[in-house]
Amino acid sequence: MARCLALFFVFTCVNRVLYTRGSCGARSEPTVPQGAAGCGCGNLKRDAALEPVEDRTASADPDDKYSRGANERSSEAQGDEKKTQSQMVLISGGQFLMGTDNPGIAADGEGPQRLVHVDSFYMDIQEVTNQQFQSFVNATAYITEAETFGDSFVFEGILSESVKNQITQAVAAAPWWLPVKGANWRHPDGPDSNIANILAHPVLHVSWADAVAYCSWANRRLPTEAEWEYACRGGLKDRRYPWGNKLNPKGQHYANLWQGDFPNHNSAEDGYIKTSPVKSFPANAFGLYDMAGNAWEWTSDWWTVHHTTDQQHNPTGPPSGTDKVKKGGSYMCHKSYCYRYRCEARSQNTPDSTASNLGFRCVSRGQQ
């Protein structure tokens, strides 16, 4: 398929045979603090602007892809789906300090710290799992964007040798990200992998529209960044992590992150080289699991690094943009290059980006 794959910091088209269409316009490289450039769990994206128009028309509206099937569901099937959907917890509204004046990665727009109010909402206690996503797809015949595009980004460290050997291109600034044909939510580590033994792990390789489609089907929606961050903090003020300020209180791991020397050696001291089953680590004070680490989570907000310090009520981000905000970091994050598993940390992707460390969870106004 004719597409160009872009990184935020570097744009490169390595293989002209595969990427026959479109010239690769260079993006300007913003100044970034040490530790942010080349972040392995950060800025991977498809370049939506370079997509051929005809590829995007037929299935551009996610509603087209799933509503018909959803209407044909039997009531028995609906009961089964209900059972597999995530439990939710009430997040009582209130005021909190969003962002920080002491940013880990200033270029990400973590600051300034600002007073924000959010109304009460319910939030999935866990990331949406493969099984939950499968029940959605079974009921609706929904086809994800990665399936339509025919490929997705997979971290080199989890690919089989045979798949790796077939790949002749990489992203210059982050050579550990490989565009893999046949990688999608059903085949998260590449075409020769499947989800049979990881049904309780977060679904991956889902675009922003895929996440929105799932949440709407479940009568839910994606959280705003403010809701996500408020929930992440679990009522704690000025703490970096959902559980407090220490990464490993009493020597315990509280999140599925990367230990060791990225990207070459993952010691998996926390027990997991890749994703973990959801709820494998302690919940925060609101009863939410894996807010930091495991899979990155899409939010509904468009990305900006400029925030007003005027007090905000239920902010929803800029009205438009090119990238969506994702939160929480992933199993690939290590302080040395991706210090983004903090509540105020943030990163961005184009909405059609999909990768082996990016998932989501849903929220709703009322109880489900």
Ligand X SMILES: *[C@@H]1O[C@H](CO)[C@@H](O)[C@H](O)[C@H]1NC(C)=O
CB of 77 to ligand X, least distance (A): 8
CB of 88 to ligand X, least distance (A): 19
> 3-state class of 130 per DSSP?
helix
CB of 206 to ligand X, least distance (A): 16
Structure tokens at 193: 């992998």
Nearer to Ca ion, 254 or 331 (CB): 331
Pick one of ligand X, Ca ion, none as the site partner of residue 312 (Cβ within 5 to 8 A by kind).
Answer: none
Nearer to ligand X, 205 or 340 (CB): 205
Residues of the shown chain interacting with ligand X in the complex, contacts defined by CB under 6 A:
84, 131, 134-135, 138
CB distance 123 to 91 below 8 Å: yes
Pick one of Ca ion, ligand X, none as the site partner of residue 84 (Cβ within 5 to 8 A by kind).
Answer: ligand X
Pick one of Ca ion, ligand X, none as the site partner of residue 67 (Cβ within 5 to 8 A by kind).
Answer: none
What is 266-333 written as a DSSP string? E--TTS-SS---TT-S---TTS---SSSSSEEEEEEEP-S----S-EES----S--S-EEEES--TT-
Structure tokens at 206: 């889902």
Pick one of Ca ion, ligand X, none as the site partner of residue 256 (Cβ within 5 to 8 A by kind).
Answer: Ca ion
Element at 131 (helix H, strand E): helix 130-140
CB neighbours of 197 closer than 8 A, spacing ≥ 6?
none
Residues of the shown chain interacting with Ca ion in the complex, contacts defined by CB under 5 A:
256, 270, 272, 290, 294-295, 328, 331
Pick one of Ca ion, ligand X, none as the site partner of residue 368 (Cβ within 5 to 8 A by kind).
Answer: none
Nearer to ligand X, 78 or 168 (CB): 78
Pick one of Ca ion, ligand X, none as the site partner of residue 138 (Cβ within 5 to 8 A by kind).
Answer: ligand X
CB distance 206 to 222 below 8 Å: no
Structure tokens at 243: 């559980």
Q: How far is it, in rounded angstroms, from Cα 37 to Cα 43?
A: 9
CB of 80 to ligand X, least distance (A): 6
Nearer to ligand X, 73 or 279 (CB): 73
CB of 38 to Ca ion, least distance (A): 20
Q: What angle do CA 71, 77, 79 make, to 5 degrees?
A: 110
CB neighbours of 88 closer than 8 A, spacing ≥ 6?
122, 123, 124, 125, 363, 364, 367, 368
Nearer to ligand X, 83 or 306 (CB): 83
Pick one of ligand X, Ca ion, none as the site partner of residue 270 (Cβ within 5 to 8 A by kind).
Answer: Ca ion
Give the count of beta carbons closer than 10 Å to the beta carbon of residue 143.
16
Nearest to 121 by CA among 328, 342, 286: 286
Nearer to Ca ion, 212 or 288 (CB): 288
CB of 291 to Ca ion, least distance (A): 6
Nearer to ligand X, 135 or 299 (CB): 135
CB of 361 to Ca ion, least distance (A): 8
